[in-house]
Each structure stands twice: as structure tokens, then as C-alpha cells.
Chains A and B, each alone.
Chain A
Amino acid sequence: MKLQPRQQILEIWQATARTSFQDGKWIWGGRDSSNSISDAEQLLCLMTPAAGPAVFKLDRPDETSDDVLRALRGLGDSVEIPRLLIRILTEYMERYSAADGTPVFAGEEYFQPPPGVPELSDTLRTMDVVDSFSTSVALSLSTIGFLRVFREVIKREDLRREVEALEALASKRLSAAMVGLLRSFTVSVFDAHSPEGRALCRTANQSGVPERQIIEDLRRALREINARLRDVTIGSGAGIAEDLDNPNRLFECGWSWGIVRKAPAIVTSEQVGEQREGVAQAAPYLYFTVVALDGIAALFSERTRLLGLLNEEQTRLAQALQLRWDLTQSYWSTIATFGSGRWPLEDIPWRTTDRAESDYFSLLVTSIVVQDLVRRRAPDAALSRVGQVLNELANRSRITRRPFELNDPALPMHSPGVRIDLFGADGDTETTLRWTVSDFAPLLLQRTVRIAGLMRDTERRGALLGLADDVWDHLQLRRIAGEPGTDLWDQPGNVFSQLPSISDHPSWYYTRRVVECLVTAADVVGSPPLRNERLAELAGDLLSEADHRFDQELLRGSTEAGPAMRSTLQSARATLRRAREIVADHPGTAFVLVSEVLRDLDRLAAARSDLSGGL
């Protein structure tokens, strides 16, 4: 693998420290100036690896590894780094709280005005957005986890107070983000013959079945999800299940871009401050659905459970979110792999029910399907089909293929990105915003590495890792060369000469996603290597032959035969023992060790054959 997660994460850390911390001051914001999402993403560039593989831990200053300290030297020594992190995390939490302490999840510069409108009003700009909820869940969880461990090593009273204050802030932000996610979930029900219904049927219908049939099939496949929707009783998206009893109705579920209009407030004992009125359209947006799913998954990860990061009330909210996660996950996965022939997912590009289509949407759906395959422990064949889709997306997006010199339709997907129009609820014409997403390449890499890690077949795994290497090469080239964002992302002009070069300020949005890829890759590399049955069998046979020949040698009394012979046999004995120890886990290595022994033993045998008249 060309991806070397440890070295590359450290490189990014070094660059992040250099760009973000100058003259003892933390510098917020990059290309998209400072807002609740970008600043959290900036912090996550440090916090995501620190909460991940053990080698990147910063919460035990005595045990931080030296290369990590070297990379983060700009931030201080092993004691100063955690203290600085506490300071800037606290600053973040306070910065994004309203005067009354209500956490703020505003999109600000990430929102753009729709065409023809010069500027967004302040009301629109400060609207809460799902991306910020999800990012905040990740940041709060990593903060609380970091503090839980760090707390144990501190003795000073003032530091302890700082830690407690930050933990309270992070916990509050976490609860508020969870409430936000519960109030932006939505189920949109439509008639099967409406434009939305037709679009859904067209996507699902890959084998040309009559329309009536496909509606029936779809309803049957979604029956279980349909039934479980009745369990959605709090927040938005509740009480819609009855509408679905009509056999001509279909639905979609997922997350809207913000708090849905008329979403009821969540009753909770947690102090989450004011629950603002929502305005968003009650229809799922594919991008925000994927973002929400990723954020929510962290709530019930192994780490969250082991460290006990959630309190009782948060656990209750997390369960409510998990129900929505399960439903959404199953829904999209069912649609994407519907039918017995070609999957709708394989019919690139994906078309949404509001008839937008893009390769990017295909990639988003892929990522949901991957999650679902993980959960179902799907066979290699299914994984491999998704791998094929990723491969094709890499081609189509010109990551592994050369773009046209002029007007290549794939390039705008990388820069400026795919534009998503965000609407208010029906009848609200005031609310229209634009959102741009350009994370195609890192998302592609992350899902590729993820699937590769799940594959059990060495050959297919190798092929996918090859693809991952190609995408990584592409990403490497997109690093910024100039100041101030040196070595960070993203400068698409480096690989696509057709694209204009953009500002050299780092995009934390993009860099954070690259960091996530690398953390996923570190997990894959850290897992034990695949064990090949053929190789294991061969190593076992070889081992027994070597054992036998070794015993024969002993029977000849070779141990009496002077120092040279004795040391050969001793080393053979030790090597065989080592081979036997590891043959179960590392048959390939055992194979090599045994071969050495066989060669040594054979030298003795060959020498003897000389006596019996050989050459």
C-alpha cells in the first residue's frame, strides 16, 4: 500500500500545527473563514486521529510517542499540547454558544446565496445545519473521550477545573446536536404516480417490470421499515406512518438540511438551551443523510461505549437516533440493491426523487450501502460489486482517467463542487440557499479502503487497495504548495490544469475528510493480515517434513558431532519451534522459516550422498 497512515497523519499534523498556531495564538478559519463547521473540522484534524489508533494518543503525556511530539512541536511539548487543546476546545465551545448558553450550529459561510441573489440575509446565514450537528457530535465525543483519560493524570486544581468546565460544555453541545438531529430527520410520503414516485420507481426498476408490479415489489421490500417507522414517536418525522397504509403511497426517509419546519421540541432533561423553530423542507437530502449517518454511527461505536462517553439521558437520545439510523440505512440500502438483476446503484449516475443526478450521489449511496454490508457481514461477492462501482466512479470522475482538455463535465464535481439547493417548507419561497460539496475524492478513498478492509479474498482485496493507492496519488497531488496552507488541502488545479487555481488557504472541510481516510486506513493496516488457506496448508505440510527430517538427523546421533554440527542443529530446532508458534497466524512467514531449516538439513544430507557414490 502506498498509503502510510502513520507517516501521513503526522505530516498533516505538522502542517496543521504550523498553519493554525502562530506566535502562541490559535488561528481560526481557513479558506471558508471561521464558522461552527469549519472550526470544528480544523480541530478534528487533530482530534480524530488522537481519538483513534493508540499511536496517536495525546491524552497520556507520559506515553506520547516521540515522532508524534516531533510532528506537533509547534504546539509545545507533551505537557503543553493537551493543555493547549483544552484551551482551544473551550474557546470553540464558547465561541459557538449564544449569549444564553444555547449551542449554535450555524452554517454561515458554508451557505451560499442562490443564483440571482447577491447576499444572504442574516436570518438565513445563521440557520442551524445538519452538517454542523454531525461535526459537533464527532468533536464533542472526541473531546469528552480525550478528557476522560487526561483527567486521570492531572493533579493541579486549576487544570482540573478547566477540564470539568470543558467537559460540561462539550456534553451540552453533544446533547444539543443530538436534539438537532432528532428534529431534522424526516419521512417524506408521496403518491406512487407523483413525479417523486415515478422517479423512485424508475431508479428501482432496473429490469423493465411493469409499473404496477414495481410499486408492489417496492412496498413489499420496504414493509419492515414501514412498520418500524411507527416507532418514531418523538421529533420530526413522527406520526407519518398512517399515511403509508394507502397502497399507492411510497416514501423516502433521511435527513433534511436543517431543522424541519414545525418539528416539535424534544422533551429532555438535558440543558440544551432554546430549541429554535425550523424552516427546512420535510424531505431527505442525500448529502445530509450521509453526513448525519456518519455522525450518528460514532454515538454507538465501541469507543463511546467502552469509555462511557454518554450520560443516561444522552443514551436515551442516542437510542432514538439509532432507530432512525437503522431505518435510513436499511431504506437506502434496500433501494440501492433492489431487484434481482442489475442494482440501481450500478446504474450510474444516481438520480434523486427531485430529479437531480450526479456521480456524486452514486458515491453517497455507495457509502450507505457499504455501512449496511458491514452490518450484515455481507459476502465478498456483494462487496466486490460495490468495489466495481467505486472503480467506475473513479474513472468517471477523472481520478484514474485523463480528463478532456476542454469542458470535461466531470471536473466541476471536484471544483467548485456539486451544488445542492436547499429549500424551505412548502409555501416558503423566502428560504432558498445553496450548499456546495467537493469531497468526492476523499469520500471515494475512504469507502474504498473501508471495503478493502472487509474483503476476505486476497486477490479482490489487492485490486481494491490498488484503486485506493491510485486515489491517494491523486489526493497527494492536490496538496497546497504555497503559504499558508502548505501540505494541506485542497488545490485541484494541481491535477486538473483546466481548473483555475484557488486560494492557498487550507480547506478544513477537505483536510478533515482526508484525515478520516487515513484513520480508516490505519485501522485496516492495524488489523491482522489475511490468512490464506492454501498457504496455511502448504506451510503445515512443509513443517511436518522438516520436523521429520530433523528427527532423523537426531536419530543419526548428529548432536554428538562437534560444535559446528551442534550449532546447526540447535538453530534448526529453535527455528522450527518459532515456525510452529506462528504457523496458525502467519503461514507465509512460517513457510520461509521452515524452508531455511530444510535447506540446512539438506546440506548435511547432500554431503553424505557423496560417500554413497553421488557426484
Chain B
Amino acid sequence: MLVFATSDKGGTGRSVTSCNVVYRRALQSSDVCYLDFDFGSPTAGAIFHINALVSGVPERGLHSYLLGKANDPVRYDVWTSSDRDSLRGRPPGAGRLVFHPGDSGGGEFSADRDVVRRCVNLLLRLDEEFELCLVDLSAGRSYATQIVLAATATPELAAVPYRWLIYHRWTRQHIIAAANLVNGRRGIIETGAELGHDRDRLSSAIRFVRTAVVDPDSTELAGLRAAQIAWLRDCNTDLQEIASGRRVGRTQMLGAVPLDPVLQWREQLISDNDVLTRHIANQATVDAFNTIAKRLFDDSAWEGL
């Protein structure tokens, strides 16, 4: 299955959440692959702790491939190339975890026919090899989004199932921006329809993921004053109404990732070690990643109303 991840704005935690989701999926024993399509700043290498790839590869990255400068984009097995001890070595029972970096000197480029053809070929090939290919796009309306929308609309990819994840933070501005990115002018659905997608089918393949969510009822907020909590709860209800009115409500949501200090200060994969032994990350965060990784494949979560 192909999964395209994008977000309404920068700074939503799209890449770090996506990386964690594929990581969790790999631990759930699927073969997974992560493609860094964030052409402006390909930094996912840092999240996987591959020091040589902190800002992409110097050559033969995904840019070079799509632009026709390299036939075979370079790829890394995270279990062997990560510089972080707790990631090295595939855990027993886990699937493959492969990372396709972007080029460090890259930049945005437009979607011409050749680019789309190469993209189709790459996705077809990877889809055969992996259960889950997560394509991390840049934020907002981008060329990368256009390229994959055009690619998935081609007859070659017609039989390949795809799904979209839209990351957004749980604030008024982000909710509105996320709704616009999907349903607004030049949004994903409009652009997709122009490129030949069926509106309803595309729209039913899109789900939202809320990031850095503060649950007003959680025990972590024990330090807040009662008045602050009372206000927070009302804000939350307010946001729910805004979201529901803009079709970003709970029924359109695949998961919600709570605010976690580890994600906030150091974007990295959260290993079980971080939670259980070092106690720096929260179990709830890992649960959220696991839920998203599971629900990605759970058809009933995508049926909708």
C-alpha cells in the first residue's frame, strides 16, 4: 500500500510522526519503506539517526532519480545503517525498514510528464517489494503533492491501493489550514480531480492525524490551575465544533499523537527503550503510533460515514 503524508503547514511533526509510524509498522513485522519527498529540506535521515544523511545524500537521491539524473536511487536499511545503538540490528520478528533519502542540494521542481513516469515506475516497484511505502511530502500545496497525485491517477497505478494522511496541530489555525489543504481551492481534492482522480474515491482515502495534542483531561496537566483547565476544556469543545464544521472532525481522523517532550525537543524515533527503561517518552505516544500503524491497514477505519 502507498501512503502519502503531508501537512497543512511546516512544524506539525509530519516527518517525525511518519517515521515513527513506519518504525512501529516494521516492529509489527511488516516490510516497510520510507521515501523522503520533502524536496526543499530532506532531513528525515536525522530522525533515523543516520549521521551521513542528516541533510540528505550528496548524489543519487530521490531528486536525481525523478529528474532523470540517476537510474537507481540509493537506499539504506535503517536496521544496519542507523548510528543509534537501540536501532541497530533488526529486532526479532520485525520486518525490513528501508529509507530512501532525498538529495542534499535539491529543491522544488515541477511535475512534467517524465518526472511523473519515473515516479510511477518507482512506486510500482516499491509497492511490490514492501507492504507499506510511506511517501513523506512537503508541507502545504507543493510540487511533490502534484507529482504523486498525477502518478496515482495513471492507469499503471490504478490497481495499487493508496491512502493519504494529513497532519495538523490541534489549533484553530491549523484546523482551518488542514481543511483548506484538502477541500479548499487548489487543494488535494480539486487538484486530484483535475488530474483524473475520482473525487469521492480520493476523498474517502484521506484521513487526518492530529499532532502535539494536549488532552485537557490528562493527568500531565495536573500542574495547571483549575481555571486554566476549565478554559482549556471549553477551547477544546470549540475546536471540535470548528473541526466538525470543516470536515476535519473525529470521523475523519485516523489518530491523534499527544504532546511528548521527546518529539518536541528532539525529533527522533521513540523506541520501547525510551519509554520503559529511560522513562523519557510517554507510553501514550507509542500507543498512538501503534494505533495509526494498525489503522492504516484496517479497512473499517476508512469506511467512514
Contact = CB atoms under 8 A, between A and B. Distances in A.
Interface in B185-242: 200, 217, 240-241
Nearest to A153: B305
A61 B304 CA distance: 11
B274 to A, nearest CB: 27
B244 interface: yes
Contacts of A62: 240, 243-244, 249-252
A79 B251 CA distance: 6
Contact of B249 (A63, A66, A83, A155): A63
Interface string B69-111: 0000000000000000000000000000000000000000000
Contact of A60 (B200, B244, B252, B304): B244
B299 interface: no
B304 A79 contact: yes
Majority SS at the chain B contact face:
helix
A64 interface: yes
B224 to A, nearest CB: 18
Interface in A54-96: 60-64, 66, 78-79, 82-83
Nearest to B217: A66
A536 B259 CA distance: 46
Nearest to A159: B305
A154 interface: yes
A375 interface: no
Nearest to B243: A62
Interface in A114-172: 153-156, 159
A63 B305 contact: no
B234 to A, nearest CB: 12
Interface residues of B, number: 13
Interface residues of A, number: 15
B241 A156 contact: no
Interface in A492-538: none
A156 B250 CA distance: 17
A78 B305 CA distance: 11
Contacts of A83: 305
Contacts of B305: 61, 79, 82-83, 153-156, 159
Contacts of A155: 200, 304-305
A78 B304 contact: no
B303 A78 contact: no
Contacts of B200: 155
Of listed A61, A62, A79, residue having the most chain B CB within 10 A: A62
B175 to A, nearest CB: 12
Interface string A180-212: 000000000000000000000000000000000
A79 B254 CA distance: 12
Given A66-B217, A154-B305, A155-B305, A78 B251 contact: yes
A66 B305 CA distance: 19
Interface in B235-268: 240-241, 243-244, 249-252
Interface in B253-305: 303-305
Given A78-B250, A153-B251, A63 B244 contact: yes
A78 B252 CA distance: 11
A154 B305 CA distance: 5
A159 B305 CA distance: 7
A63 B303 contact: no
Given A61-B250, A78-B250, A156 B304 contact: yes
A174 B163 CA distance: 43
B206 to A, nearest CB: 13
Interface of A: 60-64, 66, 78-79, 82-83, 153-156, 159
24 contacts: A61-B250, A61-B251, A61-B305, A62-B240, A62-B243, A62-B244, A62-B249, A62-B250, A62-B251, A63-B240, A63-B241, A63-B244, A63-B250, A66-B217, A78-B251, A79-B251, A79-B303, A82-B305, A83-B305, A153-B251, A155-B304, A155-B305, A156-B303, A156-B305
3 closest pairs, A vs B, by CB?
A62-B249, A62-B244, A154-B305
Interface of B: 200, 217, 240-241, 243-244, 249-252, 303-305
Given A62-B252, A63-B240, 11 more contacts: A61-B250, A61-B305, A62-B244, A62-B250, A62-B251, A64-B250, A66-B217, A79-B251, A153-B305, A154-B305, A155-B305
